[in-house]
Each structure stands twice: as C-alpha cells, then as structure tokens.
Amino acid sequence: MWEGTKVEPILRARGLGKRFRGFAAVGRVDLDVAHGSVHALVGPNGAGKTTLFNLLTGFLRPSAGRITLDGRDVTGLAPERVARLGVARSFQITTLFPKVTAREHVELALQARTGQGWRFWRSERQLGRFRDRALHLLDEVGLAAAAETPAAELAYGRKRALELAVALALEPRVLLLDEPTAGMGAEDVDRTIDLIARIRAGRTVVLVEHNMTVVRSLADRVTVLQHGDVLVEGGYAEVRADPRVITAYLGESHVDR
Ligand SMILES: Nc1ncnc2c1ncn2[C@@H]1O[C@H](COP(=O)(O)OP(=O)(O)OP(=O)(O)O)[C@@H](O)[C@H]1O
C-alpha cells in the first residue's frame, strides 16, 4: 500500500505532451505512479485521459517529455516493447476470440509471454504446461467455473474479467485499466471493484475511470486532468473537496455517480 511503497515511482512522466495538428491534447504532464499503488486518472470529457494512457502504453508517440519505467527510459518505444517491459493494458483493447474458451485464452497469453507468440497450432500437451497457471488466474478473476466456456458465451462483465486475466498472464509490473467499468450495470460495477481490489495485491494499477465510486473505492492517488494538464493530484477526499476540481466538473453528470 501507499505507506510501504518505494520512494522511486515505478512509472514516471516528465513534461509529457501530445499535440495533434498543433492542438495540445496533453500539455506538459508530470506523473509519478508509486510501486504497489492504485493510481486513478480522472477529469472531464476531453481532458486528455485517453491520450495520456496511450502515451504511457506506447500507442502514441509523445510530442514532448519523457516516460520512465522503474528508472528505464521507455519514451517512444512501440506498444509491444512497452508491454514486454511490463506495462500491460486491459479493457477496450483486448480482442477475445469467440470460440476459444476462457482457459485457452489465458493459456495462449501465458504462452505469448514466453516469447513464442500467439500460436494456435501448438499441441494440447504443450499448452497443458500452462493449464495450472491459467486456472489459477481464472480463479483470481472469479472465472474458475467458466474455464471451459467459449468467450462468446460469457456475459459482458465476465468478458471483461477474462480480459483482465489475459492481461495478468503477462505478469505486468504496471497494469493499466481503461475505464474498467464502462458500460456496466451497478452489479457488474460492484463486482469489478471487488475484483480490482483483489488483483491489486502485489501489483501497481493505473486506471482511467469516470465512475467516482470506483475511484473512491480503489484509488490511493488521484490525478485530475483538465485541458491536457494536471489540475490537482492527491488522495480521493482531498481531490474531491478541491474547489478547482468542483469547478472543472461543474455541469458534468458523473460526479459522485
Ligand atoms: N487523434 C486525435 N486527433 C485530434 N484530436 C484528438 C485526437 N485524440 C484526441 N484528441 C483531442 O484531444 C483532447 C483530449 O482527448 P482524450 O480522448 O484524451 O480525452 P479524455 O479525457 O480521454 O476524454 P473522454 O473522457 O471523453 O474519453 C480532446 O479535445 C480530443 O478531441
């Protein structure tokens, strides 16, 4: 947790910026994500959260600034390289294969991590090496009973849980979650909060999230973005009470939703 974390952040951005045809979607962002923390990125629509997320995961090349992962400069590296160095992203990105079972998805991800890539033609025996670990990860995300269910037959919330298991199979040093509760009903939101609370143990999580109940429940640290810059950073209660944040969100419907 927060108190016990190393002083050096696992993920650090300095002066990070992204311009699209001269428009600064992200201005000059400084961000420190502490080891073992859950760090939320929030802000009104268009604040630059997704752009920042894409910069941190290598999906966009920054126009300015630097990103370091555990002290190593990863600025401008391709997404696969960033992922291999330990930054995994889940939600709104993973493609699930409809006929492939939950267990097979995780086995394939475990296999991919060994550097063999996503190869479907491997023998049952070879994939079996990953079975125990796959089942363990499915259990961790509450999908033990659905191990043999094809992805297409999983309900929405369960598909997202499977995507999470796939991301965890990569044993990320930092797990980035892109609006993990987007499109979910209240029950699935609660389940997802419990799930993230469980899987965060021993991991570092960065999440972009609109739902303030989720942020309040999970985040050790909250960075509020507005117009591409950091408006405020702090604990949830501190940030929530900050007049600048209240003003930024005025008229927005998703405060304390
Ligand atoms: N590829 C792009 N080309 C031009 N402008 C872009 C591009 N991507 C984002 N923007 C602009 O940058 C700003 C920040 O967008 P971004 O999607 O990062 O915000 P956000 O905080 O994630 O918003 P939301 O909460 O609505 O998802 C917006 O004004 C958006 O229109």
The pLDDT tens digits for 105-153 are 999 888 877 765 555 555 666 667 789 999 999 999 999 999 999 999 9
**Residue spans per domain, the chain:** 1-77+176-189+205-257, 87-171
Euclidean distance between CA atoms 125 and 10, whole angstroms: 37
Share of the chain above pLDDT 70, in %: 88
Total residues found in the chain within this entry: 257
Q: What is the number of the ligand 1 atom nearest to the C-alpha of 25?
A: 12
Ligand 1 pocket list (CB less than 6 A): 20, 23, 25, 43, 45-51
DSSP 59: S
Domain 1-77+176-189+205-257 CATH superfamily: P-loop containing nucleotide triphosphate hydrolases (3.40.50.300)
Domains 1-77+176-189+205-257 and 87-171 are alike in CATH topology: yes
Whether domain 87-171 has CATH 3.50.30.60: no
Query: In this predicted model, what pLDDT tens digit does every residue of 164-221 receive, in sequence order?
Result: 999 898 889 999 998 888 888 888 899 899 999 988 988 999 999 989 999 999 999 9
Q: What is the number of the ligand 1 atom nearest to the C-alpha of 48?
A: 18
Mean pLDDT of 41-69: 95
Q: And the tokens for 52?
A: 């920042």
The helix (run of H) or strand (run of E) holding residue 55 is helix 49-56
Q: And the tokens for 184?
A: 């979910």
In the block, residue with structure tokens 């995780």: 106
Q: Would you say residue 89 has pLDDT above 90?
A: no
Q: And the tokens for 69?
A: 């992962």
Left (φ > 0), alpha (ψ -120 to 50) or beta: where does 133 sit? alpha
Strands 204-208 and 174-178: parallel
Q: If you measure from the C-alpha of residue 35 to the centroid of ligand 1, how many angstroms do you get, rounded to a whole number?
A: 28
Q: Which value, in Å, is the radius of gyration of the alpha carbons in the chain?
A: 18
